[in-house]
Structure 1
């Protein structure tokens, strides 16, 4: 009798707490044996990963996310402490993920050294990340007439919250630590309703207005000064499989959105297609083919409408 059949048959008898503990242990053990050689390794911590990214966000924007009343003369010291504490915490989480990956059977010192190299490379990107984020925040201020100040945008806009986490997660992802990157992305998703895969490549001046329901797939490429509204999907049209029917991974399957494109609320753009620079994609459009630069794509019944922006509250 297999394990699943035993559990199903035991339901009729009523297990009681000890029986439940035993059944769950058996299921857990069987699952771990399928995934690991030997004992199950320690997993990275979702809580610790989210916390360290919040700490790094405070290091990037200490006046906004540091302690209330932080004085100008104290800022550098605060940033130094945040970087030291949270980069150290990141190194520990990276080590744990590496042990789950193909490096899990390597010697401890080699894994630790590799984790240190990854975190050092990540740390070196932080000035670039801050510079990119400043362009995103400026794009939000210039693109939304409801915004009264840069500080309001940093504090309040869900699109900015999501893009801060994305830019940090993307650097972690590209350095070969996808689980931690995905934890960061999904935390931002749960708090904002904006789902950006950490693999997505996004250039400067990116603005998501309102944001709820936005989905950006793993291999999406987004150029400079692109604006999206709520419920936009940049997704895959279909999933390719190998000869055995298993899904293929790590191939381009999401859109390329060139510079200065606006995509309005509810639009769905699918497949490895290109939206040419300067184009406008109207609300609720379903698009599965490339369009040249300066295109104005609308629903069939509204083809003559022009779209000129807006969307501020």
Structure 2
């Protein structure tokens, strides 16, 4: 088989002729610029807002395939939301500092905690998601997912002072609702009980009320599942039904220890 035949066959089997991976790359650049604009002390805010506007124009060109969507008008409204997002993220950082005895300074939280980074990119992407801006919010959170191991769908609703400890392996689905002062550990899944395309417009993921702590590798599934306020969910718990407020849920494994006598 000669090279010309191979080229023709590849072209024939390309199912997405308009799949432009520049959108992915430029979204990641935009995300980095946005993060530095909000948090880096040496970054000039006014100068970077101009750069971000240009980068956003490029994203509009690549992402807005439907010409009837007013994508270009999103940016002005988005910028107006940035102080609100930054205020929420500062509360998240303070929650981490106050809850984690291993955190030595607020600077460490902003620069070294993958959970904070994942929350930051989620909050920045969520604003775009609510505006209906296509593809970009999902690419933003997937960029954070790749770097941190935390997969937060930009459609999730998350309240104030959210803390993800250790990060890695956390999954939060699109219709999940998390209220204020919630703390979760590595490996937690807030997922759907059933997966079917027909459920797209339904609430598929659980609601976590305020002041809940969910320990490592707990799995909570279902759109009707509500974890009441002030609950503690122990590690490795599997929950598909609602839990009343002020409850403690523990998974108790059977552990067997066999000791071999000295020979």
Counterpart residue number, 1:142: 98
Q: Is this contact kept in 2: 1:43–1:97, CA < 8 A?
A: no
1:280 to 229, 232, 251: 232
| CA 1:32–1:192: 2 relative to 1, 3 Å | closer
Distance 2:209 2:139 in 1: 28
Distance 2:161 2:105 in 1: 17
CA radius of gyration, larger in: 1
| CA 1:294–1:96: 2 relative to 1, 3 Å | same
3-state SS in 2 of match to 1:166: helix
Distance 1:47 1:32 in 2: 17
* Structure-2-length-normalised TM-score: 0.91
Counterpart residue number, 1:25: 11
Task: Tell me the CA shift for residue 44 of structure 1.
Answer: 5.6
Deviations 1:285-304 (A, max 9, x none): 000000111111111469xx
2:189 to 233, 237, 243: 233
Q: Is this contact kept in 1: 2:64–2:134, CA < 8 A?
A: no
3-state SS in 1 of match to 2:168: coil
Task: Tell me the CA shift for residue 20 of structure 1.
Answer: 1.3
1:182 to 138, 145, 152: 138
Q: Is this contact kept in 2: 1:213–1:232, CA < 8 A?
A: yes
Counterpart residue number, 1:209: 165
Counterpart residue number, 2:245: 293
Runs of 4+ in 1 over 2 A off after TM superposition: 40-44
Q: Is this contact kept in 1: 2:118–2:150, CA < 8 A?
A: yes
Task: Tell me the CA shift for residue 41 of structure 1.
Answer: 8.1
Deviations 1:131-151 (A, max 9, x none): 000000000001100000000
Matches within 5 A, 1:1-313: 15-28=1-14, 31-32=15-16, 40=18, 45-63=23-41, 70=42, 78-99=44-65, 103-104=66-67, 106=68, 114-240=70-196, 247-272=198-223, 273-300=225-252
3-state SS in 1 of match to 2:190: strand
Q: Is this contact kept in 2: 1:91–1:115, CA < 8 A?
A: no
Task: Tell me the CA shift for residue 56 of structure 1.
Answer: 1.0
Aligned positions, number: 253
Task: Tell me the CA shift for residue 58 of structure 1.
Answer: 1.0
| CA 1:117–1:263: 2 relative to 1, 3 Å | same
Q: Is this contact kept in 1: 2:88–2:160, CA < 8 A?
A: yes
Distance 1:16 1:165 in 2: 46
Distance 1:159 1:41 in 2: 31
Distance 1:263 1:248 in 2: 26
Counterpart residue number, 1:66: none
Q: Is this contact kept in 2: 1:53–1:86, CA < 8 A?
A: no
Distance 2:182 2:230 in 1: 9
Deviations 1:238-270 (A, max 9, x none): 024xxxxx5331321000001000000010000
Distance 2:214 2:22 in 1: 37
3-state SS in 2 of match to 1:269: strand
Distance 1:158 1:43 in 2: 26
Q: Kindly indicate which of the two structures has a greater share of residues assigned to helix.
A: 1
Unaligned runs of 5+ in 2: 255-263
